[in-house]
Amino acid sequence: MGRIVCKFGGSSLAGVEEFRRVKEIVEKDPQRTIVVVSAPGKSPEEPFKVTDMLLMCAQLASAGFRFDEIFEQIAERFKMLCKELDLSLDINTLLQEVYDHIVSGENSASCASRGEYLCAKVMSDYLGWPFVDAADLFVFSSEGEINEEESLRRINKRLTTMERAVVPGFCGALSDGRLTTFHRGGSDITGSFLAVGTKADLYENWTDVPGLLMADPKIVENPMPMRHMTYPELRELSYMGAKVLQEDAVFPLARAGIPLQIRSTLLPDNPGTLIAENGVQSGIVTGIAVKKDFRVFTLEKTKMREDRGFLRKLLSVFESNKVTVEGTPSGIDSVSVIVSEEQISGKLDKILEEIRMYCHPQRLTTQPGLALVVVVGRGMIRTKGVAAKLFTSLAQADINIRMISQGSSELSILVGVENEDANRAVAALYQTFKGE
């Protein structure tokens, strides 16, 4: 029998109804043997995330203020879960431990991690499965970096011999034993490591959306879901802003070749999106994403190509100013550098001056307001006429293209358009490629 690691996000654990739904899902497939939980999140009935409330408690405690009122709300939520789910768990003692932990002046990450801890205790009792503390599995360096090798070793040693386990997400321990956490939303990473460490057949990430959509629903009405995709496709789309889970959770899975399925607890029969090394090809284009607010620097210089080291000198200017370069489309005697506007803030004049000083361009211009639209699909490699369709679609929508770039893996085509045209560009491209 295969093994499925399933992680449930905070909104899927917000209250009693949500817990019931999770139990039903878990028990429906006997392969689901490791459950990872976030802390209870928001729902229409619950306006606050437990993690946020714990952080507030820690902040108040560290400033010497009382935090009892907020803590009482957290306590009520867990007590209510135990009562309604008819559990025998001694939640009062656990809550007291967490309260004392905060009073003792522990750092805020350590306090925040207790939401997942309590939630996993409740889930473990509810499912009747053993609880395994993430602090015994996840090891962080004193700089707060996860020690992947050691963590995977511990996970493998501890969990592969167990039939079932419930593990709190988000949390781990420093080498001196103090508790710490991944960054916010980090339970996704916990689940991913558990899948890799136990060599699972599948990692299911259960959330409140049924997978990824072909385009942003804020731009396109009711976009089609993406049923299958590959890890490189997911990387391209999430880099451009189409996010549904933490990127750091994806790399370990991709490396280990473990498929990832994103599903919704609200629609448990919906298959969601399956991301695998060699996913089934759904269409020519898998998805379309957009990122706005880039700035383009354009340099013109005769015989630029013969000037050895020209690009290095140009890129060094950005590097020394700590600016990440998004791309460098080039012509024969011209080159452009694309960077996000945010990174340039407060540095524009200095960068222009340094480019003039080190690169001696004949002409140097810079223009803000560029949006990058990416069309991603591994089917594009084998299909003629995709680019023609793409450009025709934009021309028909009366959109001017300021820049074009095709990724060398031919997995994506990137076009630069004016910020104001970006949403229309996505909508036009979606209409052209949906269902193809």
Q: Which residues bind ligand ASP (CB under 6 A)?
A: 10, 38-39, 49, 51, 115, 169-170, 184-187
Element (H, E) at 121: helix 114-127
Query: Of 134 and 290, which CB lies nearer to ligand ASP in the complex structure?
Result: 134
Task: Report CA dihedral (150, 152, 155, 158) to the nearest 10 degrees.
Answer: -60
Q: How far is the CB of 148 from ligand ASP (least distance, A)?
A: 18
Q: How far is the CB of 391 from ligand ASP (least distance, A)?
A: 41
Query: Of 48 and 391, which CB lies nearer to ligand ASP in the complex structure?
Result: 48
Residue 299 three-state SS: strand
Give the contacts of 17 (CB within 8 A, at least 6 positions apart). none
For the stretch 205-239, what's the b/e string if a residue is b when 16 or more beta carbons lie within 10 angstroms of its beta carbon? bbbbbbbbbbbbeebbeebbebbbbbbbbbbbbbb
Query: Of 140 and 294, which CB lies nearer to ligand ASP in the complex structure?
Result: 140
DSSP state of 279: P
What DSSP assignment string belongs to 18-80?
A: HHHHHHHHHHH-TTEEEEEE------SS--S-HHHHHHHHHHHHHTT---HHHHHHHHHHHHH
Query: Of 38 and 393, which CB lies nearer to ligand ASP in the complex structure?
Result: 38
Q: How far is the CB of 163 from ligand ASP (least distance, A)?
A: 25
Q: How far is the CB of 286 from ligand ASP (least distance, A)?
A: 26
Q: Which two tokens stand for residue 118?
A: 């309590």
Q: How far is the CB of 138 from ligand ASP (least distance, A)?
A: 13
Sheet-wide strand order for 139-140? 139-140, 171-174, 179-181
Query: Of 10 and 361, which CB lies nearer to ligand ASP in the complex structure?
Result: 10
Query: Of 186 and 279, which CB lies nearer to ligand ASP in the complex structure?
Result: 186
| Maximum pairwise Cα distance, the chain | 79
Q: How far is the CB of 125 from ligand ASP (least distance, A)?
A: 20
Query: Of 181 and 336, which CB lies nearer to ligand ASP in the complex structure?
Result: 181
User: Which is nearest to 241 in space by CA: 315, 200, 294, 301?
Assistant: 294
Query: Of 183 and 363, which CB lies nearer to ligand ASP in the complex structure?
Result: 183
Are the C-beta atoms of 323 and 345 separated by less than 8 Å? Answer: no
Q: How far is the CB of 351 from ligand ASP (least distance, A)?
A: 35
Query: Of 53 and 414, which CB lies nearer to ligand ASP in the complex structure?
Result: 53
DSSP state of 377: -
Alpha-carbon distances, residue 355 vs 156, 300, 311, 363, 428 (angstroms): 52, 12, 11, 11, 37
As a whole number of Å, the CA-based R_g of the chain is 25
Q: How far is the CB of 29 from ligand ASP (least distance, A)?
A: 23
User: Side chain identity at 278, as an amino acid letter?
Assistant: N
Query: Of 67 and 170, which CB lies nearer to ligand ASP in the complex structure?
Result: 170
Taking the C-alpha atoms of residue 428 and residue 178, their distance in angstroms, rounded to an integer, is 52
Q: How far is the CB of 46 from ligand ASP (least distance, A)?
A: 13
Q: How far is the CB of 101 from ligand ASP (least distance, A)?
A: 16
Q: How far is the CB of 180 from ligand ASP (least distance, A)?
A: 13
Give the contacts of 283 (CB within 8 A, at least 6 positions apart). 377, 379, 433, 435, 436
Query: Of 170 and 433, which CB lies nearer to ligand ASP in the complex structure?
Result: 170
Query: Of 83 and 184, which CB lies nearer to ligand ASP in the complex structure?
Result: 184
Are the C-beta atoms of 192 and 252 separated by less than 8 Å? Answer: yes
User: Which is nearest to 407 in space by CA: 281, 261, 259, 233?
Assistant: 233
Q: How far is the CB of 112 from ligand ASP (least distance, A)?
A: 7
Taking the C-alpha atoms of residue 346 and residue 339, their distance in angstroms, rounded to an integer, is 14
Handedness of CA 104, 106, 108, 112 (dihedral sign): negative
